[in-house]
Amino acid sequence: MAPDPPAPPFTPPKLNPVRVPVPEEPVAERVADFREVIHAYSREAAVLEAKRCIQCRRPWCVEACPISQDCKEYIRLIAADDFDGAARVTLQDDPLATTLCKVCYHYCEESCVITKKGVPIAIRQLKRAALDFGDSERAYVASKPKAQRVAVVGAGPAGLMAAWDLGVRGYSVSVFEQEPEEGGLIRTIPAYRMTDADLREDLARFRDLDVTFVDRRKIGRDGSVADLLAEGYAAVFLALGTPDHRTLGVPGEDLPGVLPALEFLRASTHGNAPPVGRSVVVVGGGDVAMDSVRTALRMSPGATVTLVYRRDREEMPADPEEVRGAEAEGIRFVFRRAPVRIVGPGRVAGIVVQTMELGPPDAGGRRSPRPVPGSEETIACDTVLVAVGQQADVRDFPPELGLRISPRGWPEGVGPGYTTHVPGVFAAGGRSVVYAMGAAMEAVVAIDAYLAHLRGGAPTARPDPFGGPGSFHLPVGYTKPIRAP
């Protein structure tokens, strides 16, 4: 038999370094209320942008995504005008796609090869187009039910990802959440970036999985991890995150008018924020600080809003897109200053800051700030929002679990697959929505292996979440969980 003719050499399409512009609400209009800042692509714009992708043989974009979202494939389908196909590909790896298409920090784009010559493909924006123009209302399908129950504690991104992945594998999952609603820190993200409706859209796709949400139950206080195991849960996944705020630890922090940014944002996203004044100082340099300055401006239009950060702009951990957004909206940035005390009388009237000089880079590559003696100055203000980080609340969890607190504050197991010292108990979280989901995904592989071992079977890969060939199908019209709470 004659050998096959050699394959024609691969000729990548000509590289176009210029991104199809992402539409934005003009600054003058958007700062007056909480309307959406970044708008969706039109169908035509999405196809044009997708056509810029050169479909790399080794897609760094996919490798950089913590949940290995097959973005290369959904981009290919959009370029071919197949939005239904693109929506399916998006949703099959990503149960929080409607949320992530608005707020993901798009690590994929940083790795996109086009960055070498121009602006990377707008991968997150194309995810949004896939859902906007494709069939995004489909429901997930559980595989054949397994007679094992798993308790997930915490309904933030890590807990929701775990619940989805376990539900699709056929486990019966109960998610315990101390708050009245699911979402974790997602529910503090301001409405000009995403709304609760986006998350609800994601959770609606869980409707046919055996996942039950039990809200207002704080594990540790309302029953322990040991109680959950005794109740018959074969495994427990702790996705506790960082629900508490860190403080500055300076005199005057208890004055009226000084608020933890997390509480301020949590209240303002749900319409009951305390009033902010005409001169607001936000302390911090991360995404919470960025959301706080922009939210404060919207709540008090025309106010002077100042961000105080102890390092330089380059060292700010905030997403550059958010920093640019804040700058465009007129936020004043004061770098290399750290608060020393907050002054009254009676309520906040100013914040005393000290100039910092930056020393050599530390082990993490960031220069450590050192105070310059005699450099104190006062910034007059009537509101101070403290955005210097979040922390876990593990007071009610026993030390026998061996939980480690990650450098960014969330509790996690230290063994492979985030195992804790107690068999069957796992714990993980993450520094962003998609990182938390990625950690949960890793933990679920370990949970599945543990449960397979208990039932004398072998672990399996996650099945097609839309019930592809060979999957178990629930009866038509099925609406209730297999097991009531």
Gap between the Cα atoms of 176 and 178, Å rounded: 7
Question: Rule CB under 6 A: is residue 199 a binding residue for ligand SF4?
Answer: no
Question: Rule CB under 6 A: is residue 53 a binding residue for ligand SF4?
Answer: yes
Question: Rule CB under 6 A: is residue 69 a binding residue for ligand SF4?
Answer: yes
| Strands of the sheet with 425-427, listed across from one edge | 211-214, 172-176, 149-153, 233-238, 425-427
- Phi, psi (deg, nearest 5) at residue 236: -130, 130
Gap between the Cα atoms of 214 and 146, Å rounded: 21
* Binding track, positions 201-220, relative to ligand FAD; x by CB under 6 A: -----------------xxx
Question: Rule CB under 6 A: is residue 22 a binding residue for ligand SF4?
Answer: no
Question: Rule CB under 6 A: is residue 48 a binding residue for ligand SF4?
Answer: no
Tell me the HSE value of 96 on the side-chain side, using a 13 A CA sphere: 33
Question: Rule CB under 6 A: is residue 128 a binding residue for ligand SF4?
Answer: no
Question: Rule CB under 6 A: is residue 122 a binding residue for ligand SF4?
Answer: no
The footprint of ligand FAD on residues 391-420 (CB under 6 A) is: 393, 410
Q: Which range in 1-9, 39-47, 99-107, 125-133 contacts ligand FAD by CB under 6 A?
A: 99-107
Name residue 260's beta-bridge partners. 386
Burial track 66-89 (b if 16+ CB lie within 10 A, e otherwise): bbebbbbbbbbbbbeebbebbbbb
Question: Rule CB under 6 A: is residue 431 a binding residue for ligand FAD?
Answer: yes
Gap between the Cα atoms of 201 and 137, Å rounded: 8
Q: Which range in 60-68, 78-86, 332-340, 402-410 contacts ligand SF4 by CB under 6 A?
A: 60-68
Gap between the Cα atoms of 100 and 428, Å rounded: 19
CB nearer to ligand FAD: give 242 or 419. Answer: 242
Cα separations (Å) of 443 from 70, 235, 345?
A: 20, 11, 51
Q: Which range in 26-34, 150-158, 199-207, 375-383 contacts ligand FAD by CB under 6 A?
A: 150-158
Question: Rule CB under 6 A: is residue 123 a binding residue for ligand SF4?
Answer: yes
To ligand FAD, the closest distance from the beta carbon of 465 in angstroms equals 20
Both tokens assigned to 150: 């798993």
> Which residues have a Cβ under 8 Å from the Cβ of 441 and sit 6 or more positions away?
67, 161, 162, 165
To ligand FAD, the closest distance from the beta carbon of 254 in angstroms equals 22
Binds ligand SF4 (CB under 6 A): choice among 30, 72, 266, 431: 72
To ligand FAD, the closest distance from the beta carbon of 360 in angstroms equals 30
* 155, 164 Cβ separation under 8 angstroms: no
- DSSP letter assigned to residue 419: B
CB nearer to ligand FAD: give 255 or 394. Answer: 394
Element (H, E) at 434: helix 433-454
Partner in contact with 433, chosen from ligand SF4, ligand FAD, none, beta carbon below 5 to 8 Å by kind: ligand FAD
- Phi, psi (deg, nearest 5) at residue 130: -60, -40
* 319, 105 Cβ separation under 8 angstroms: yes
Both tokens assigned to 428: 């993980």
Q: Which range in 19-27, 331-339, 426-434, 446-454 contacts ligand FAD by CB under 6 A?
A: 426-434
> Given the rule CB under 6 A, which residues bind ligand SF4?
53-56, 59-61, 65, 67, 69, 71-72, 75, 94, 100, 104, 106-108, 112-114, 121, 123-124, 127, 434
> Given the rule CB under 6 A, which residues bind ligand FAD?
103-105, 153-159, 176-179, 184-186, 188-189, 218-220, 239-243, 262, 265, 287-288, 291, 393, 410, 429-434, 436
